A and B are shown apart, each in its own frame.
Chain A
Amino acid sequence: MIPAKFSYVRPESLDEAVQALDGAGEDTKVLAGGQSLLPLLRLRLAYPEAIVDLTRLGELRGVRDEGGHLWIGSGTTHHELIRDPLVRQHAGLLAQTAATVADPAVRHRGTLGGSLAHADPAADLPATVLTLDGELVVRGPGGERTIPASSFFVDYLTSVLRPAEILTGIRIPKTWGGWNFHYEKFCRTAQSWAIVGVAAAVRRSDGAVAEARLGLTNMGSTPLRAQAVEAAVQSSAPGSHDALRAAAASADDGTSPPSDLHGQADYRRHLVRVLTARALITASRL
């Protein structure tokens, strides 16, 4: 990799990192796992003047049970998400989704926080955090704020994070007790990005699906919720595969999928209907 020149600091504490960023503009970038930032540097698509490396910050690591929610440090790697007992217990969808990301090398370095902050609609974890009604905790020069995932993503590679803000942790409500999950990722090779992905959380009652939450990967400029399908499930309480398929038929409502090398928009619209049906069926265990 031959990136353009940049200066580099590696703070030892969160306060130090916030200080380092204070007043810094767009030209300063924080570095977590580097699995999205480094490719940009390599291709000279990003020219940061300074890089603030977060990898030494203990405050961004670990998973804690904080009573009403689970707190997951933004520096938690994909690999750690797959293994963590608390994540598996309370937010199994995250572990399942993380397991579909890239390859072991990427999963050992890439972080949950980096994946959310990068705000790539083709990334898998953002749709899942959105599905689980996660909240993002952010520290900046002005202090801390908490942003619901539903208002975090703004556009392609754009979130509400301000340049001097650090994403410190992700809160997942501990309300997923009776739910079942499935992440349905559609990609051409085992290591490639999702053409379309569907994150599904399903709650059953009386042999039918009472509620569903669905997040969509790569169906627009941000991760999306398939609200029409969620509503259809709510109103029809599907109790069979056919009924779930029927509910999934509106999965592309309100989406604006891209057309690129890996799929034209009309194909993605078709795919999301098929994959949503499959995700619902698998998660429903019907």
Chain B
Amino acid sequence: MTTAPEVGRDRRRKEDARLITGRTNWTDNIQLPGMLYVAFLRSPMAHARIRNVDVSGVLGQDGVVAAYTGADLAAEQGSLPCAWPVTEDIVIPDHPPMAVDEVRYVGEAVACVVATDRYVAADMLELIEIDYEPLPPVLDMEAALAEGASLVHSDKGTNASFTWPFSAGDVDAAFGDDAVVVSRRYVQQRLIPAAMEPRSVVVAPEGDGYTMWSATQIPHVLRLMLAMVTGIAEHQLRVVAPDVGGGFGSKLQVTAEEVITLLLAKRLRKPVKWTEGRTEGIQTTHHGRDQIQKVALAADRDGRFRGLKIELLADMGAYLMLVTPGVPLLGAFMFPAIYKFDAYSFTCTGVFTTKMPTDAYRGAGRPEATYAIERLVDEMAVELRMDPMELRRRNWIKHEEFPYTTIATLTYDTGNYEAATEKALQLFGYDKLRAEQADRRERGDAVQLGIGISTFTEMCGLAPSRILGQLAYGAGGWESASVRMLPTGKVEVVTGSSAHGQGHETAWSQIAADQLGVPFEDVTVLHGDTRVSPKGMDTYGSRSLAVGGTALVQACDRVVDKAKRIAAHMLEASEEDIEFEGGTFRVRGTPEPATTIQEVALATFAAHDLPEGVEASLDSDATFDPENFSYPHGTHLCAAEVDTETGMVKLRSYVAVDDVGVVINPLIVEGQVHGGLAQGIAQALYEEAVYDSEGNLLTSTLADYLIPSAADLPEFVTDRTETPSTTNPLGVKGVGEAGTIASTPAVVNAVVDAIRQFGVNDVPMPCSPEHVWRAIQEAGGEPATTLGRGPGR
């Protein structure tokens, strides 16, 4: 039986029916007998000493089971972990899950109430009395580093957590007198991940141990970390990530609420549940981005790039969480992007502020890097009076130069920037849009047109364990897979990566179906439960397919190898003469005799007649540790209309040509690109977490923190080129973050391009109408003598 290969097929996602209808096991849907509910009292102050917390008013009230302060749990709650101490002298402050002596951001938990009903628990919070002694908030990174600044952690003597430098080549020479230099200061605003499903956790005591269900991306890492933080033995903890409704990095965390809920279940010997409200989540689920970037690009007059200097301040927030300090480092290697440089220097200082900690958010470090370099290249093009695409062409790595080791020491295995760009330009109609732009400028139209380019690359497939070790990360980057051949020839695939919306169940089924020659429908994929898939590194950094998918291929190969020996025995031939194709074993060159993998599975199960020394199982495990990252790339082009009278930006068209290597399921890739674009465009135009001068988060509802919907986005034109990665046998690269990484600079480049004639060379993100309007005003541009000429809605 030979059927069309599954890989490359537009399979609708197996998991969607249950996810879309909500008829599924979201953590908050879990109800257990005798379950209790915990609610957290949170600090209303950005920075204060806790003089006293009094929960006595709560105890004894109807429905109340217990109430605790941070001090009550101080002996057992431990400190929330930071797994990425990026330098030897890094300052890692203690991070108690519930504050004991001091609060350092609005929303930090200070006490909790456990009740038989979640409404009672919430009501009771108002009866807790707390005496705070206000301390000065620390909100501005640059001020925080100045001499005599108020400290977030007074015992540390500094607001700097670490400084991480990197340098290659002769930077001074590159920036010598004969160089054309463009220097800028860009701000990556703070963002709120806002996954659709709020965080939720349920912990039930079971025997001597505990089962935790959590809306997490990282059940395996979480179990290990919980064991280390709480001292509960690892084998007595089972962590389940049931269906999880999005994460974007925000659920790549070990949270205060997870630790406390576990400790409460332990103390009270009852199942305990916590689910955040949306505002609570906006305040206390880790935030993303928040960097000040001082960047400089040096080039020859003819446009050849010479050097790149990057100085970052990265806002850590009040504490270091799981990978907080590592996020800017993931970007450190990506500033040089697709370009060739003689020299590069990078330094990043992590800064404490009295705000919610930051951590991984879709792209983690790489969007920041891509933004800076792609914005800078556009600015350099203006400086040199060159077409920005031509400038890129002159500097990017040519397809025949791969593998290429960049100035940041990464070796890009493959890529073809020319091909992706060619395709994008065609789809976009670049020349025609440039002509329209010139025409609108000429006419002084109230609506101006801008074109933005982003020829991006990123590193994903996290990560070679060896490199993670060199970067002081606390764990490896391998992934595991197991294949279980059931007696009827049906297949259970177990993966250690942990899907939370990506569609693993479909993609993994497609891979296993091809590798084993079984129908797609005959494969089920199990994940996200430490008891079902005991080994894993979970899902983040566009790693699942490149690393976990490869482990699956290896596990399938092992199944086929075992089956081949048994098939040879069944067909009375020697193993070397057996060939396997489309699920059938036959003797090389002859159509008959033959046996199918399903028949071999049944024969193996029966075990009546197995060859000498062969065990009665086809099941196989594999662990894959990549040698290198993978490097998706692409060319994104954006046309933006800017209403110069109001500052409103409207995206007219967006073309994304991505090269993510071999595509397992085009439909899923398309979905990832669309969602990614929406999120990257959101940073460019809409989203910003704003704290006021007291450290209150002003954007604490979705009415103030603006997330765009389909109605705000143009119809995306997406296409692909396919340059297989050579670092894994599938040739895949990863697509989870590409859209987000690429689109932010493409959009801002387009906005700036549209209004450059007024003297504007930057608009701070998000490019809200007001920011755009002020940029025009501040540049002295008075676009129209009489207002009101632009379009209505």
Contact = CB atoms under 8 A, between A and B. Distances in A.
Nearest to B786: A245
A261 B704 CA distance: 7
A278 B39 CA distance: 50
Nearest to A47: B126
B627 interface: no
Contact of B787 (A39, A100, A245): A245
Given A185-B793, A186-B646, A261-B698, A274 B788 contact: yes
Nearest to B39: A2
B788 A248 contact: yes
A189 interface: yes
B118 interface: yes
A42 B792 CA distance: 35
Interface stretch (B41-49, B104-112, B708-716, B733-741): B708-716
A189 B706 contact: yes
B706 A282 contact: no
B704 A186 contact: no
A49 to B, nearest CB: 13
A130 interface: no
Interface stretch (B142-150, B303-311, B414-422, B769-777): B769-777
Contact of A186 (B119, B122, B648): B648
Given A5-B119, A188-B686, A188-B769, A273 B711 contact: no
Contact of A278 (B699, B770, B788): B788
B709 A190 contact: yes
17 contacts: A2-B119, A2-B277, A42-B279, A186-B769, A188-B768, A189-B708, A190-B712, A193-B703, A245-B789, A246-B786, A261-B690, A261-B699, A264-B770, A271-B646, A278-B791, A279-B792, A281-B792
B792 A282 contact: yes
A186 B790 CA distance: 13
B568 to A, nearest CB: 62
Contact of A267 (B118, B774, B791): B774
A271 B769 CA distance: 10
A22 B769 CA distance: 48
The 9 closest A-B pairs by CB, nearest first: A277-B788, A190-B711, A2-B122, A245-B786, A245-B788, A274-B787, A278-B792, A274-B645, A282-B792
A188 B649 CA distance: 9
Contacts of A249: 787
Interface of B: 39, 118-119, 122-123, 277, 279, 645-646, 648, 686, 690, 698-699, 701, 703-704, 706-709, 711-712, 768-770, 773-774, 786-793
Interface string A209-224: 0000000000000000
Interface in A223-242: 241-242
Most chain B beta-carbon neighbours within 10 Å: one of A195, A244, A246: A195
B277 A42 contact: yes
Nearest to A185: B793
Contacts of B790: 274, 278
A189 B773 contact: no
Interface string A32-73: 000000010011000000000000000000000000000000
A29 interface: no
A218 to B, nearest CB: 13
A1 B39 CA distance: 13
A270 interface: yes
Interface residues of A, number: 44
A89 interface: no
Nearest to B649: A188
Contact of A5 (B123, B279, B690): B123
Q: Looking at chain B's contact residues, is the secondary structure mostly helix, strand, loop, or mixed?
A: loop
B114 to A, nearest CB: 15
A282 B792 CA distance: 8
A1 B645 CA distance: 41
B496 to A, nearest CB: 36
Given A43-B279, A189-B709, A271-B646, A244 B773 contact: no
Contacts of A277: 786-788
A103 B708 CA distance: 12
Given A267-B774, A274-B787, 13 more contacts: A42-B279, A182-B792, A184-B792, A188-B686, A189-B706, A189-B711, A190-B711, A244-B788, A261-B704, A270-B773, A271-B646, A277-B787, A279-B792
Contacts of A186: 646, 648, 769
A19 to B, nearest CB: 29
Contacts of B711: 189-191
Given A188-B686, A188-B769, A282-B792, A242 B774 contact: no
Contacts of A245: 786-789
Contact of B123 (A4, A195, A280, A281): A4
Contacts of B645: 274
B786 A242 contact: yes
Nearest to A4: B123
A192 B766 CA distance: 16
A263 interface: yes
Given A185-B793, A281-B788, A2 B698 contact: no
A43 to B, nearest CB: 7
Interface string A245-266: 1101100000000000111100
B160 to A, nearest CB: 30
Contacts of B123: 4-5
B403 to A, nearest CB: 43
A4 B124 CA distance: 10
A286 to B, nearest CB: 12
Contacts of B769: 186, 188, 195, 263
A141 to B, nearest CB: 32
Interface string A198-216: 0000000000000000000
B586 to A, nearest CB: 59
A42 B698 CA distance: 17
User: Which of A182, A195, A271 has the most C-beta atoms of chain B within 10 angstroms of its own C-beta?
Assistant: A271
Given A5-B123, A182-B792, A261-B699, A191 B709 contact: yes
A42 B793 CA distance: 33
Nearest to A283: B792
A77 B788 CA distance: 32
Contacts of B119: 2, 5
Nearest to B118: A2
B709 A43 contact: no
A189 B686 contact: yes
A191 B707 CA distance: 9
Contacts of B701: 39, 43
A43 B283 CA distance: 13
Nearest to A192: B706
Nearest to A273: B787
A180 to B, nearest CB: 13
A192 B708 CA distance: 9
Contacts of B686: 188-189
Contacts of A2: 39, 118-119, 122, 277
A43 B279 CA distance: 8
A189 B118 contact: no
B445 to A, nearest CB: 15
Nearest to A246: B786
Interface in A71-125: 100, 103
Nearest to B769: A188
B793 to A, nearest CB: 7
Contacts of A273: 787-788
Given A43-B279, A270-B773, A274-B646, A192 B788 contact: no
Contacts of A192: 703, 706
Nearest to A122: B703
Nearest to A279: B792
A76 B690 CA distance: 37
A51 to B, nearest CB: 15
Nearest to A103: B709
Interface string A174-189: 0000000010111011
B712 A189 contact: yes
B685 to A, nearest CB: 8
A2 B121 CA distance: 10
Contacts of B787: 245, 248-249, 270, 273-274, 277
